[in-house]
Structure 1
């Protein structure tokens, strides 16, 4: 399986599902499951009973993972969603390139 083209810290847009059209920043990437966790997207509530780590218990709200195929990277130069291509740059290192604009996507 090829690696994910989305990294934590990237700005992405959801293109499928209940949160279609919403934007957020990637908090965590799970490459083995092909999923990403996005800030403010796909929020869930879990009822936790009291434990040593959480003595209060109660309702905990968290962001659930979204499948990576349902998000697109937002091109930093244009602000539009774009596909991502990998290519070798002038310095011989692999870099991510936005397909829409052809510009290099900077690392975070």
Structure 2
């Protein structure tokens, strides 16, 4: 029984050691030459500016769908005046960052 525990503990320690060495090599190579600035800025442009149209388009359709649904629900309660506030909170705080992240990840991973 103690042999199994010692093997298990040894495995965990070896795994942590490998993670530490990998992290140390990664941090060391961040500052080593060559630094590929052109490729870095090209990827930043592809991910950021290149994905902007897709994010805006999907955000518009998602926002329109939510607005229609909220209008029906708020009309039943007589609270249509609050639609703008609810949409602003829902999109800016909740749906916007999640949808943006998903769309950028989908575009970048698809090439």
TM-score range, shorter chain: under 0.3
Greater Rg, structure 1 or structure 2?
Answer: 2
Larger RCO, structures 1/2 (Cα 8 Å, 6+ apart): 2
TM-score for the superposition, normalised by structure 1: 0.24
TM-score for the superposition, normalised by structure 2: 0.23
Greater fraction strand: 1
